[in-house]
Amino acid sequence: MKIGFLVNPIAGMGGTVGLKGTDGVEDEALRRGAKPSSGKRAQECLTVLKAARERLEFLACSGRMGALFLGGFRFEVVYEAPDASSGEDTKAASRRFMELKADLVLFCGGDGTARDVYSAVGDKIAVMGIPAGVKMHSAVFAVSPSKAGELVLEFESGDLGLREAEVVDVDEDAYRGNELRTRLFGYMRTPYKPELMQASKQVIVSEDDDESKFSISVFASEFMSDGSAYILGAGSTTKAIAERLGVEKTLLGVDVVKDGKLVLRDAGERELLEFLKGEPKAKIIVSPIGAQGFVFGRGTQQISPDVIKRVGVKNAIYVATPAKLNSIPNLLVDTGDAELDRQLSGYRSVVMGYRMSQRKDIKTVSG
């Protein structure tokens, strides 16, 4: 099988530093201490593909956009990428893959990368996304890099068909301004196996859902009076908790509350770790992404493996409305740290109302 392979070298860099994306802000991400992570994610996928290396042929971009990671595979560099590559290079490389009749485009990045690939190839060729971005609302991504590898292997063996999958992106400027604006750009065809592909993110809005958020917030305001510092992840449910406390929370960022007061707003990983040095008691409250189920590793990368380890796995609190819980079979983690993901896995209580909870299985998608 002939695979067109590309990596967005800056994908995901804005996540841990609280920029909620990397498009147009790479320099700021680097200034805040961000480090490239997409190459590592690409290699996790390629490790799985080594089982079929004799049957695979790669068409690659040069350097950090692909060839750098293909040692041990048969590959040909068919697109020379500049050191400072851009979305235009992703589009040009994708068109080149199609010209050379690739059977599949395998790309590593986030929603912005998916949008660029789509603008070049549409639904004319099979694609598979290796998740590496800050935002991954699109349904063209596997749930993890290793699962992307498994999907490619099953597709190569002829065991999987193709389905239409949504390509969705958000307005990053609005996103950084605490407003979520999503747009459907179109559909690409992806190899499909339900348990290995993520769903397109859903936002659930209803009167019943609002009532549930209110009930959760009342209960949370009671247990949060224990003197601990509480790290609040992104989302409307955690925002409802902050509003109950009289605190103005960022809808799409990570904030810290202690004794009913906001002590850290829109924090990145570095700020969280620095703050935690002086805090003997800290806890994390997160809510899963609608339809996808991720509680760690998507959307709030600021709550990094180091932050979770500092707080402690047992001090993670999960909250979700019944409507959201009913939309997801399991909760998922993909922090990039396989051992931590295993520690986070297992049945956990999810607060779903006032003194009401439901046991939900948290599963790792790594390995």
- What would the pLDDT profile of 150-181 be if each residue is shown by its tens digit? 999 999 999 888 999 999 876 555 555 555 56
β-strands 2-7, 104-109 pairing: parallel
**pLDDT 10s digits, 35-52:** 667 899 999 999 999 999
End-to-end CA distance of the chain, in Å?
Answer: 24
In this predicted structure, the answer to whether residue 143 has a pLDDT above a threshold of 70 is yes
204 pLDDT more than 50: no
- pLDDT at position 175, please? 55
Distance between CA atoms of residues 131 and 141, nearest Å: 6
Give the model's pLDDT for residue 298. 80
247, amino acid identity = V
User: What local confidence, expressed as pLDDT, does residue 352 receive?
Assistant: 92
pLDDT at residue number 289? 83
| pLDDT tier, 125 (very low <50, low <70, confident <90, very high otherwise) | very high
Whether pLDDT at 28 is above 70? no
Measured CA distances, 222 to 7, 28, 227, 291, 353 (Å):
46, 39, 11, 29, 13
Phi, psi of 238 (to 5 degrees): -70, -30
Is pTM beyond 0.75 here? no
Place 329 in a pLDDT band, splitting at 50, 70 and 90.
confident
State the pLDDT confidence band at 225, using cuts at 50, 70 and 90: very high
CB 352, CB 216: distance < 8 Å = yes
Tokens coding 121:
């190839």
Average pLDDT on 127-138 reads: 84
Of the pLDDT bands very low, low, confident and very high (cuts 50, 70, 90), residue 183 is confident
Percent of the chain with pLDDT over 90: 62
Cα–Cα distance for residue pair 196/150, rounded to 1 Å: 8
In the chain, what percentage of residues exceed pLDDT 70?
A: 86
Give the least confident one: 30-34, 96-100, 126-130, 351-355: 30-34
Q: Is the pLDDT of residue 30 over 70?
A: no
> Does 26 or 206 have the greater pLDDT score?
26
Question: Does 203 have pLDDT greater than 80?
Answer: no
Distance, in Å, from the CA atom of 92 to the CA atom of 94, rounded to the nearest integer, reads 5
| Local confidence band at 325 (pLDDT 50, 70, 90 cut-offs) | confident
Task: Specify the pLDDT at position 156.
Answer: 94
Instruction: Please give the pLDDT value at position 27.
Output: 54
Q: What does the pLDDT average to over 92-100?
A: 97
Residue 123 has pLDDT above 60, yes or no: yes
Is the pLDDT at 33 greater than 60? The verdict is: no
Query: Edge-to-edge strand order for the sheet containing 261-264?
Result: 261-264, 255-258, 229-232, 282-286, 316-319, 346-353, 356-364, 331-333, 294-296
| Mean per-residue pLDDT, 320-329 | 87
Q: How many Å apart are CA 125 and CA 207, to the nearest integer?
A: 42
- State yes or no: pLDDT of 72 exceeds 70: yes
Domains of the chain with bracketed CATH: 2-196 (3.40.50.10330), 207-364 (3.40.50)
Task: Assess whether pLDDT exceeds 50 at residue 29.
Answer: no
Q: Is the pLDDT of residue 200 over 90?
A: no
